[in-house]
Amino acid sequence: MDKNTIKAAELLKKAKFATAFTGAGISVESGIPPFRGNDGLWSKYDPVVLDINYFHTNTKDAWRVIKKLFYDFFGKANPNPAHTTLAEMEKMGILKALITQNIDNLHQKAGSKEVYEYHGTAQTMVCTKCGAKYHSPDVDLSILPPLCKKCNGVLKPDFIFFGEGIPPEAAQKSSHAAERSDVFLVIGTTGEVMPASMLPQIAKQNSAKIIEINVENSNYTNHITDIFLQGKAGEILPELLNAINQV
Ligand code: NAD
């Protein structure tokens, strides 16, 4: 076991309030590509489909791509060992909170309970006219756009589009967790998406130790990261848990 893994395990074991913060990278081993990078979704699709103004003016076209990306595709994905290890760490009392930028529901599927979905979720849809909510698997996507059964308004996925604000409750709980964390575990995120990218900085300003897991350097690595564990989250996290059980 390498020195950094042992150091990270020791920090997590004695932490009073450890928080995990995850990005698209944690779901790559579940078969969901990230947005950025060579194989990222934005190399194949135009991000404009997730712009809120575009959605309102080109609803059908936006929905065609959204359906393909987030419903035909995401729906079939299952948690990988990175998700299940974080759920196990919560059960052991090591992790107190999990903030995710992801909308794929895989942390909850893996058994994590205290999950703050900073960008919302694909699991529900909301009517843009009357605000009614729907469980996504119950919505028929064979005719697009899907419409509200109550008022005929257009349904929109319950995750945030470019140009929309962070869901207030998730924003508040996430900031609070970042402020009170003594260890902040950053996994699979470039740190390019604002304001989510500020959360590790907030934790650092409040004296948290930053442990980072990523296959490559992120915006954090050479600036605020204290311990960098380089590699795939689905391999590194089980190793880290193993180390926690040994230190
Ligand atoms: P990103 O696409 O900008 O970056 C992904 C990061 O993950 C990169 O730093 C990359 O090096 C790293 N990575 C790739 N494979 C990895 C692995 N196996 N283990 C560890 N790290 C790995 O993602 P982002 O910074 O999270 O921001 C993009 C936004 O897109 C987020 O807000 C997120 O909501 C959204 N998004 C979500 C999903 C999802 O729900 N699964 C998928 C794509 C994008």
CB 229 within 8 A of CB 236: yes
Q: CATH topology of 1-32+79-119+167-247 equal to that of 33-76+120-159?
A: no
CA torsion angle for 5, 87, 204, 215 (degrees, to 10)? 50
- The mean per-residue pLDDT over the stretch 65-87 comes to 91
Containing 184, the helix (H) or strand (E) segment is strand 183-187
CA distance 211 to 21: 10
Percent of the chain clearing pLDDT 90 (strictly above): 89
Percent of the chain clearing pLDDT 70 (strictly above): 100
What the block records as the tokens of 157 is 């996925």
The band of 156, judged by pLDDT with boundaries at 50, 70 and 90, is very high
pLDDT surpasses 90 at 122: yes
Pocket-testing residue among 102, 123, 197, 221, ligand 1, by greatest number of atoms within 8 A of Cβ: 102
CA distance 103 to 120: 6
Q: Which phi and psi angles does 114 have, rounded to 5°? A: -90, 75
pLDDT (0 to 100) of residue 246: 95
pLDDT surpasses 90 at 76: no
- Please work out whether the CB of residue 218 comes within 6 Å of at least one atom of ligand 1: yes
Q: Which residues pair with 124 in a beta bridge?
A: 135
Ramachandran quadrant class, 156 (left: phi over 0; alpha: psi -120 to 50; beta: rest) = beta
Q: Which residues pair with 100 in a beta bridge?
A: 22, 117
Q: Which residues pair with 21 in a beta bridge?
A: 99, 186
Q: Which residues pair with 116 in a beta bridge?
A: 99
- The mean per-residue pLDDT over the stretch 83-105 comes to 97
CA distance 175 to 202: 8
- The mean per-residue pLDDT over the stretch 170-193 comes to 97
CATH no., domain 1-32+79-119+167-247: 3.40.50.1220
Vertex 130: Cα angle to 128 and 134 (nearest 5): 75
pLDDT surpasses 80 at 227: yes
Residue 159 CA, closest ligand 1 atom number? 34
What the block records as the tokens of 168 is 């207030």
| Reported pTM | 0.95
Containing 85, the helix (H) or strand (E) segment is helix 81-91
Q: Which fold has domain 33-76+120-159?
A: SIR2/SIRT2 'Small Domain' (3.30.1600)
Mean pLDDT over all residues of the chain?
95
pLDDT (0 to 100) of residue 231: 97
- The mean per-residue pLDDT over the stretch 102-107 comes to 96
- Please work out whether the CB of residue 232 comes within 6 Å of at least one atom of ligand 1: yes
CA of 101 to the centre of ligand 1 (A): 8
pLDDT surpasses 80 at 103: yes
Nearest residue to 52 (alpha-carbon basis) of 164, 159, 150, 153: 164
- The mean per-residue pLDDT over the stretch 20-30 comes to 96
The band of 146, judged by pLDDT with boundaries at 50, 70 and 90, is very high
pLDDT (0 to 100) of residue 45: 84
pLDDT surpasses 90 at 46: no
For the chain, the straight-line distance linking the first and the last C-alpha, in angstroms and rounded, comes to: 11
Please identify every residue annotated as catalytic: 119
- The mean per-residue pLDDT over the stretch 8-12 comes to 98
pLDDT surpasses 80 at 74: no
Which sequence spans correspond to the domains of the chain?
A: 1-32+79-119+167-247, 33-76+120-159
pLDDT surpasses 80 at 193: yes
- The mean per-residue pLDDT over the stretch 104-110 comes to 96
In tens, the pLDDT along 203-222 reads 999 999 999 999 999 999 99
- Please work out whether the CB of residue 28 comes within 6 Å of at least one atom of ligand 1: yes
- The mean per-residue pLDDT over the stretch 69-89 comes to 91
Give, using CA atoms, the residue closest to atom 13 of ligand 1: 25
CA distance 210 to 166: 23
Q: Which residues pair with 159 in a beta bridge?
A: 120
Containing 183, the helix (H) or strand (E) segment is strand 183-187
Q: Which residues pair with 68 in a beta bridge?
A: none
pLDDT (0 to 100) of residue 39: 76
